[in-house]
Amino acid sequence: MRSLPFSSPSSYRFHHPIPFRSLESIPLLSVTRLRVESGSSSCFKFCAASLKRHGCSMRHSSVSVKAFDDDSFDFYSGDIFAASYLLSSSEGEESDGDYALNVVTETTSQRLSKFPRGRKKHRIRYGINLGLLAFLLVLLLFVDSFAWKIVRLPLPPYFLSMPFFTSAALVTLAGYIFVPLLDRLKVHEPIRTLGPVSHNRRPTIPTMGGLFFVPIGVVVAIAMTKFSSIEVAGAAAATVVFAAIGLVDDSLSLCSDNNNGLSAKIQLLLEAAVGTCFAFWLETASISSPYGMKMLVPLPSPLGLVCLGKLYLLLTSFYFVSMVNLVKATDGLDGLAGGIAALAFVAMAIAVLPICSDLSIFGASMAGACFGFLLHNRYRASVSMGNTGSLALGGALAAMAACSGMFFPLFISSGVSVLEASSVIIQVAYYSATKRLKGKGRRVFKTVPFHHHLRLTGLKEPMIVTMAYVVSSLLSLSAAYVGLISA
């Protein structure tokens, strides 16, 4: 018998109109011979034409076979085996083909181990957000219970909790409408491969998520301050302008062939221009201040209040440029930027409470919007915020600090984002220095930003996000405390 081997093994499935459990139930189906080779699995050869005559067919897929010993075997519907395909003929290629089946036994536990572990993934996806929600809920309710002592004025009940949960609920509901809409419009994020890091996202996901959660946070804050707060109006305007810059950048990325949006220089100039305009607006606007004068930076004792004068304008512009790029650098893993921004907003809402209670409402509302967005941006995200969201969040945080002078608490609460941006600066500086001195550049981290370095060291994405949340929670508590004792 001449055998024509194939380049790769194939598997087949037997089909018969009548269910069978043994060879005897297949009439006139002849087993040509039982071939047992030394050092190999048992092989059974069936005549393809005989199978076809009796209503059986063979196609590429898995077959159910269970082997008991060398002389007998039985067919079952649930067992799995691998089949190798050989075309054997003694009369040429026109004769019937023979199929050799290599029987492989497999235990039930081995088969069950191949099923996806969906429950574990669901625990990971929801557990992180539930922990973050519990922390924010306890913190906001605790501050609400003592808010009147901080401000020394009667405040409505649930002063910070109400805008937080209102924005969170509205953004969550809006996501179920806008995310499928963005997907249907094919507003998909261009996946860029930078170095050896691969993402666990699906190939394309909708982007520009900031289009639905940023406006909700802004509108809820303005509505709950009854359209009467100039500080909230200024912070909202800055947020919308930075969201517009991000929207232009995202739109150009989607339309261009090379997935490039605005150049880095143009983005930097636009961010600096908006920050400078906001600083000059602060100088002319009648911002309420408990100190009777503007351009003051509250710091913990023994420093106290520091008057910067015209340097305050420069510091404001610097913080706008820095914060939008810090949040943008952090937006690299599912849920990372949104969760850190929510914690930073809550910290700033508490820190500015003694100075401007209306800004606290703005911060709580934006924190709720970020958390509502996290329900759609958690691990295995269905949407990303894009630069439309990241630039808007950075601008909103910088605006809160500029209107109240709470630059130092914002720096503390953004510690994780500062670490991410610092890793990029250190990597570039060290590589340039070693290349100039030794002729070959060297790297401190495997890749940057720092969260990608952690992924290459073997840490899973949910673990990295969880650690970032824990560190940000501690930093947010510290920032809120520093802000309260500074004011």
The 8-class DSSP code of residue 190 comes to P
Helix (H) or strand (E) holding 45: strand 43-47
CB atoms under 10 Å from CB of 5, counted, come to 10
Indicate whether this model's pTM tops 0.95: no
The 8-class DSSP code of residue 90 comes to S
Question: Which ranges in 38-152 belong to alpha helices (H)?
Answer: 48-53, 108-112, 118-151
State which of 224-228, 236-240, 253-257, 450-454 shows the largest mean pLDDT: 236-240
> What would the pLDDT profile of 257-270 be if each residue is shown by its tens digit?
677 889 999 999 99
Over residues 73-100, the mean pLDDT reads 40
Distance CA 416, CA 414 (A): 6
Mean pLDDT (the chain, rounded) = 79
Phi, psi of 22, deg, nearest 5 = -150, 170
pLDDT at 438: 87
Over residues 181-190, the mean pLDDT reads 86
Q: Which residues contact 313 (CB under 8 A, 6 or more apart)?
A: 276, 279, 280, 282, 283
pLDDT at 193: 53
Distance CA 417, CA 253 (A): 24
- Residue-wise over 395-413: b if at least 16 C-beta within 10 A, else e? bbbbbbbbbbbbbbbbbbb
Q: Closest Cα to residue 468, out of 451, 456, 453, 443?
A: 451
Residue 359 near residue 214, CB atoms below 8 Å: no
Distance CA 150, CA 274 (A): 33
Which of the two residues, 324 and 193, has the higher pLDDT score? Answer: 324
Q: Answer yes or no: is pLDDT of 26 > 50.
A: no
Q: Answer yes or no: is pLDDT of 453 > 60.
A: yes
**Residue 222 falls in which region: left (phi positive, over 0), alpha (psi -120 to 50) or beta:** alpha
The 8-class DSSP code of residue 442 comes to -
Of 83-92, 232-241, 336-345, 460-469, the one with minimum mean pLDDT is 83-92
Which of the two residues, 291 and 474, has the higher pLDDT score? Answer: 474
Distance CA 411, CA 408 (A): 5
Distance CA 307, CA 293 (A): 9
pLDDT at 124: 58
Which of the two residues, 99 and 248, has the higher pLDDT score? Answer: 248
pLDDT at 216: 97
pLDDT at 8: 44
> Mutual orientation of helices 336-351 and 461-486 as an angle, nearest 10°?
10
pLDDT at 295: 85
Of 59-68, 201-210, 329-338, 462-471, the one with minimum mean pLDDT is 59-68
pLDDT at 45: 42
Q: Name the band, by pLDDT with cuts 50, 70 and 90, for residue 407.
A: very high
Over residues 460-470, the mean pLDDT reads 94
The 8-class DSSP code of residue 203 comes to S
pLDDT at 84: 36
Which of the two residues, 447 and 257, has the higher pLDDT score? Answer: 447
pLDDT at 190: 63
Domain residue spans of the chain: 123-190+203-287+295-486
